[in-house]
Structure 1
């Protein structure tokens, strides 16, 4: 099978052109912010968790040519799920421990939430926040000058949804 499951920025259709994107839920996984020495910002990853399930999307990899997606997801390992769909994730000890907790880029989070809002609505956005661990990391507010390479422009309404959910879980975006 030449399909992948995306649970973060790949949910946002504006960040890629992979065809036949459909909403999907996988069981046995949970999202988490992972801190590695590879970069100064936290990565969003999926971690095995038999008691959890996460929403996301599946899409085709045309011709089974995984090279471009592997390049985009270079810090991750591609693993087949039980249905043959592949998921990219960062195993806990893959990159070694980070010397400190790295910030979550608000521009990255904005892209993820914009995708979830489009695909799953406000309820899906809340579920994203509730099925993701690691919100104790600092959040770097880089909205005005985005660091995330696939940053998107959010409407004021979309920004408010991100900010309201951060407040709901007790996380605060700090000025960059």
Structure 2
């Protein structure tokens, strides 16, 4: 998908923005008709891996996803943290599509943010966004207990996330994603060749090599 940096059409009520900091950074995983997308940095939030909330009793299993028994993969979340900041992608979408994104992120609460919470990689980007448009970020639910059992990171999910960061922010942004994300000590479930993540992506050989190198830095404790 080509990078869209054109101004958002007038009529803020017809559009909505959501800040992706995980798989939503990868435009290839977004099924709705995106109007525009802007690489940005969200101030006052911090990203971490965590065991997913146990919601199966309330909502049932994730539609279209079949996981091996006892495997409950970790998910990425972000939480408010004064002085912190995270890279991501501000996606501008039609407001009618928001229920689709809410369904995708049903393990998260949709929180309000404002344009002043964002720093854009290109100053002109902020000028193209209607100041009255509703902006959101998704934060994992904490009112449910975490699932029990192993909580590895799915390699197929991580590949989609890392590809998004590489394409939006380059190699430096990819390494920044690793170093700025807490709880990256969790084991990785190797499913690259038989993906369990429903929006798995295809990697170039160079991307696979670079992602493995970035994870090697994580394992070896290299933070810069």
State TM-score, norm by structure 2: 0.71
- Distance in 1 (CA, whole Å) between partners of 2:95 and 2:43 is 27
Partner of 1:5: 19
Deviation at 1:100, TM superposition (A): 3.8
Deviation at 1:131, TM superposition (A): 1.0
Partner of 2:170: 121
- Distance in 1 (CA, whole Å) between partners of 2:160 and 2:26 is 7
- In the TM superposition, structure 1's runs of 4+ consecutive aligned residues that sit over 4 Å from their partners are none
Give the conservation status (yes or no) of the 8 Å contact 1:101–1:137: no
Which sections of structure 1, spanning at least 5 residues, go unmatched?
172-176
- Distance in 2 (CA, whole Å) between partners of 1:146 and 1:118 is 21
SS in 1 for 2:84: strand
Segment of structure 1 superposing worse, 34-43 or 44-53? 34-43
Partner of 1:174: none
Partner of 2:191: 142
Which sections of structure 2, spanning at least 5 residues, go unmatched?
1-11, 56-70, 116-133
Deviation at 1:68, TM superposition (A): 0.6
1:45 paired residue among 65, 77, 82: 77
Count the aligned residue pairs.
170
- Distance in 2 (CA, whole Å) between partners of 1:20 and 1:64 is 15
State TM-score, norm by structure 1: 0.90
Give the conservation status (yes or no) of the 8 Å contact 2:72–2:150: no
**Larger C-alpha radius of gyration, 1 or 2?**
2
Return closer, same or farther for 1:13/1:119 CA change in 2, 3 Å cut-off.
same
Deviation at 1:63, TM superposition (A): 3.4
